Amino acid sequence: MLRNSYSFITSGPFSISCIFKPMSELKNISIIIPVFNESASLPALFSRLDKLMLPNGMNLKVVLVDDGSTDDSAHLIERYVTGKPACSAIFLSRNFGHAIALSAGISNIDSDADAAFIIDADLQDPPELLPQFVAKMEEGFDVVYGIRKNRKEGLLKKICYRFYYRLQKKFSNIHMPLDAGDFSLISKRVVKELNNLPEESRYLRGLRSWVGFKQAGIDYNRDERKSGSSKYSLRSLFKLAFNGIFNFSEFPIRFIGMVGFATILLSLVYIGVVIYKKLVFGTVPEGFTTLIFAIVLFSGVQLLSLGIIGEYILRIFFQVKQRPLFIVKSKITNGKINNE
């Protein structure tokens, strides 16, 4: 193999072949991996990380963040990391959520890291794409994100994701790329800016777009989960979606005004119909049907308005407490366990 080139070929469910020529400014890269109850996926993840970290002209370091796992994940992480100076682990005191775990990893990378590579432990986003991300960043970008061209998931889930990303793009007050998740390579200065953002309801891919700088996407096919099950419940998915909409858009609060204006117009039209019937036919609507319709309509509008306002108030409520985003129980750095 040439001294200044890196050729990578994999076999199995996917095949990647690329040539990577490292430049001096991108030699130190930290790989951030949040983990929550992924004991079934970790052996395969560790095996592929070991292959990725073979001599290749880059200085790679792995930061595993255990997000309060209740299975054997923490034990597997500890066993893998102990005695390996190139690997470190952060064990959070409880489950804080995927975005917070990522933030914990980003805030604990080495100060000499030139960039951070963010992947998930379920291996749906292949870590072997790192050389392609690095090559793209070397063209002058500070953020390189993966664009999911194909995702091996159920039809209903695909439709929901596709609809949500397009809805988000339409109403967001910043540019957010379509079909892009957290899978990305971010430069040192983007890491610094993300660490300076104190938001409690974190939507990392939105914050990544908000900080700006030059960004580009790389198309890839998202693999299916090899083992275990998704840790995103329906409730978690809705929470993530709401953070993406309410944190980066004024549309929901303005929607209240539009609905209110529409109901006023509807009321005026109805009053006009009543007056017309009274003057022309000498009759007006009678009975409880009209009254019930009006009560249900305006009650629904009021509850919807309160719900939307409540989403903003809820975010203010949690933000003003100024609690830390996460609590670290212990760390493993330089192959040694450090209890916090």
Q: What pLDDT, on a 0 to 100 scale, did the predictor assign at position 15?
A: 40
Domain range list for the chain: 9-237+325-339, 251-320
Of all residues in the chain, the percent with pLDDT exceeding 90 is 4
Q: How far apart are CA 221 and CA 161, in angstroms?
A: 15
What is the rounded average pLDDT for all residues in the chain? Answer: 77
CB 29 within 8 A of CB 134: yes
pTM: 0.69
Higher pLDDT, 271 or 1: 271
* Least confident window among 5-9, 89-93, 176-180, 182-186: 5-9
Q: What pLDDT, on a 0 to 100 scale, did the predictor assign at position 185?
A: 92
List Cβ<8 Å contacts ≥24 apart for 187-192.
187/114, 187/115, 187/137, 187/141, 187/142, 187/143, 187/213, 188/113, 188/114, 188/115, 189/142, 189/213, 190/142, 190/143, 191/106, 191/109, 191/113, 191/115, 191/116
* Least confident window among 111-125, 172-186, 218-232, 326-340: 218-232
Q: What pLDDT, on a 0 to 100 scale, did the predictor assign at position 198?
A: 80
pLDDT confidence bin for 264, thresholds 50/70/90 = confident
CB 241 within 8 A of CB 164: yes
pLDDT above 50 (res 261): yes
CATH class of domain segment(s) 9-237+325-339: alpha beta
pLDDT above 80 (res 160): no
Which of 221, 201, 220, 197 is closest to 210 using CA atoms? 197
- Mean predicted confidence (pLDDT) in 146-169: 73
Q: What pLDDT, on a 0 to 100 scale, did the predictor assign at position 91?
A: 92
Q: What pLDDT, on a 0 to 100 scale, did the predictor assign at position 232?
A: 57
pLDDT above 80 (res 298): no
Report residue 284 as tokens. 């007006």
Q: What pLDDT, on a 0 to 100 scale, did the predictor assign at position 112?
A: 82
Higher pLDDT, 236 or 59: 59
- pLDDT tens sequence across 51-102: 888 776 778 888 999 988 888 888 899 888 888 888 889 899 888 888 888 8
pLDDT above 80 (res 109): yes
- pLDDT tens sequence across 271-280: 787 777 777 7
Higher pLDDT, 286 or 125: 125
Percent of residues in the chain assigned helix, strand, coil, to nearest 5: 45, 20, 35
pLDDT confidence bin for 7, thresholds 50/70/90 = very low
Q: What pLDDT, on a 0 to 100 scale, did the predictor assign at position 32?
A: 92
CB 48 within 8 A of CB 77: no
pLDDT above 50 (res 195): yes
First to last CA, the chain: 43
